[in-house]
Structure formats: C-alpha cells, structure tokens
Amino acid sequence: MTASPSATAPAVHVRGLSKTYGRVQAVRDLDLDVARGEIFAILGPNGAGKSTTIEILEGHRKRDSGRVSVLGEDPADAGRSWRARIGIVLQETSDFGVLTVSETVGMFAKCYGEQRSRVPDELLELVGLASSSGTRVRNLSGGQRRRLDVALGIIAQPELLFLDEPTTGFDPEARRQFWDLIRLLASDGTTILLTTHYLEEAAALADRVAVVAAGRVAAVDSPAQLTAHVNTAATVRWLEDGRWRVEHTDHPTEFIRQRSADGTELAQLTVTRPTLEDAYLQLIGVA
Ligand SMILES: Nc1ncnc2c1ncn2[C@@H]1O[C@H](COP(=O)(O)OP(=O)(O)OP(=O)(O)O)[C@@H](O)[C@H]1O
Ligand SMILES: [Mg+2]
C-alpha cells in the first residue's frame, strides 16, 4: 500500500509567513522546516513572535501571507482528521479547577472515543501524574499542571505535538523531569515543536533550534552549531606590566606565538571562545 502524501510530508514546511496586529508586525517573512521525528525548538525573547507562529501552525490564528503546510495540509482549512493528528499545549492553560485530574482526563478520553484515545490510567502513568489522579486540578503545582496539559495534548496519540513555553516558571528539578517526559514522547516517534525563551532548554532538548527575534528567524541549526552563525573570534587575555591586555582574534595560537616569540612570558594567559549564550545574545541583537 502506498502511503498518502500527507503521511510522508514533512512535519512543518513554512515559507514567507507574515502576520501583523494593527501596527505591530509580529512575524516577518519567516521560513521554517521541521522533519518527522525531530524535537525542534523556536527560541526567542518575549514578543519575538513565537506564539503567533505556533498558533498559525496549529490552525488557531490566521496569517496575513505566506505558505504553511503542517503534516501535508494547510492549517487554515484543514479538517477534523488533520486536527486529530496534532496535539496542542497552549501557553495559557484552560481552567478545569473543580474537576480532579482523572475526571479531566476521563472527560477528554470520552470526547475522542475509546479507539483513538489512550487509556487514562496509562496516560497518567506516562506523564507522571498517577499519584495525583484524585487531586483537583486547581490544587496541582505548576509543574504538575503542565504535565496535565501534556497529557491532554497527547491523549489522542498525535503525530506532532506543539508545546508553547511548556516549562516557564518551573524550578530546575521540575524542568529536568519535564524534559525527560518530552524525550520519552520523542523516542516513541512523536515530532515535537516547542517554543521557549530558555536557551538552556533549547540546548538540552532540541535536535535543531530556530532563533527568532522581532518576528524573523536569525539562525537555524543544532545547538552545537549555533555559535557558527555569529562572530566567533577568540578573546586572548593576559597581564602585562600590571595591566590586563585583551586581543580579539580568529587565530589565537598564531597570535600567542608571535607575541611570545622573543621569550616574553604572557602572565595569566587565557583564551576564550564565545559560548552558546554569547551567540544567542548576538543573534537576538542584545550583544
Ligand atoms: N492578539 C494580539 N493583538 C495585538 N498584538 C499582539 C497580539 N498577540 C501578540 N501581539 C504582539 O505581537 C508580538 C509577538 O507576540 P507573540 O505573543 O507572538 O510573542 P512571543 O514570542 O510568544 O512572546 P512571549 O515569549 O512573551 O510569549 C508582540 O509584540 C505582541 O505584543
Ligand atoms: Mg508566547
């Protein structure tokens, strides 16, 4: 049997996406490609256009212009069968305050029907909420609440899961546990597209990262390769006649060799390369 085109299409393919709110241009001529099976992060500061972009991909927001394909279909006019293939975790969570965790999951499972839905108890086990199943949603901690959001996002076993700022406000321990959950879902074959303003999160989780600033993609690469997109000159620092001397150079070894050729000792010599954080700050235009 030949797979239908939408089953083999890239997870996300975007060209020239733009969106304006009144006079604010939130997204400007943005291109994006996410492959099946990837964990892909859109990383950028507040107001960069991350939510606007992801909401357009989810079919929750209209675009002004550009081409968008998600799992082979245009989200602007895709139907129920397409919607069933994606999972969504919004930046703002909805309020199910008086229900318990298991009542909430049960209610969603019923909506999807037994055939498509995961078994609620197994789902709560998977997201680490089994011991909180009787807790009212309003009494969950922030981290537990986000796990419930993910549970609801993956209840119908989506091919592609959107997560908008999933760990904002988490303590470091909760964040690490949440990353493990995302990795687990990815290892099962779910494509993950997440937004974050934590560089550390993008670096720890994502196969590839799009750095977005002021509605544009400043760079797309693996976390390890992002530094290659900015000025990567090394900084050579040493102490001479009681004063710190600093040199920025692409060839630090050669510089040091020449500088010490006459036998001069370069006291307290250090050579540093830009870190991923330096690269990120340069890319978003703050450094
Ligand atoms: N509904 C709206 N009406 C008017 N302006 C909006 C609306 N939504 C977003 N904006 C503006 O568009 C720009 C991009 O916002 P967006 O929410 O997409 O950014 P973001 O990267 O998700 O930011 P954050 O990290 O704070 O969530 C911002 O300047 C924002 O103020
Ligand atoms: Mg946002």
198 or 2, which is more confident?
198
pLDDT tier for residue 121 given thresholds of 50, 70 and 90: very high
Which ligand 1 atom lies nearest to the CA of residue 27?
14
What total of structural domains would you count in the chain?
2
Structure tokens at 183: 């990795």
Cβ atoms 163, 150 nearer than 8 A = yes
| Domain match, 144 and 73 both | yes
Structure tokens at 254: 């050669």
Q: Where are the beta strands (DSSP E) in the chain?
A: 12-21, 24-34, 39-43, 65-70, 86-89, 160-164, 191-196, 208-213, 216-221, 234-240, 243-249, 267-272
CA of 46 to the centre of ligand 2 (A): 7
Count of CB atoms situated within 10 Å of the CB of 100:
17
| Domain match, 148 and 240 both | no
Cβ atoms 206, 263 nearer than 8 A = no
> What's the average model confidence in pLDDT over 131-155?
91
> What's the average model confidence in pLDDT over 21-37?
96
Cβ atoms 213, 220 nearer than 8 A = no
| Domain match, 97 and 210 both | yes
CA of 54 to the centre of ligand 2 (A): 9
pLDDT in the model for residue 43:
96
| Domain match, 178 and 258 both | no
In eight-state DSSP terms, residue 100 is B
Q: In the listed set 204, 228, 252, which residue is the last one of a domain according to the structure?
A: 228
**DSSP 3-state of 27:** strand
Nearest CA to ligand 1 atom 25: 46
Q: In the listed set 181, 200, 228, which residue is the last one of a domain according to the structure?
A: 228
pLDDT digits (tens, 9 = 90+) for 88-119: 999 887 777 789 999 999 998 988 877 788 89
pLDDT digits (tens, 9 = 90+) for 235-277: 999 999 899 999 999 999 999 999 999 988 899 999 998 888 9
| Chain centre distance of CA 81 | 25
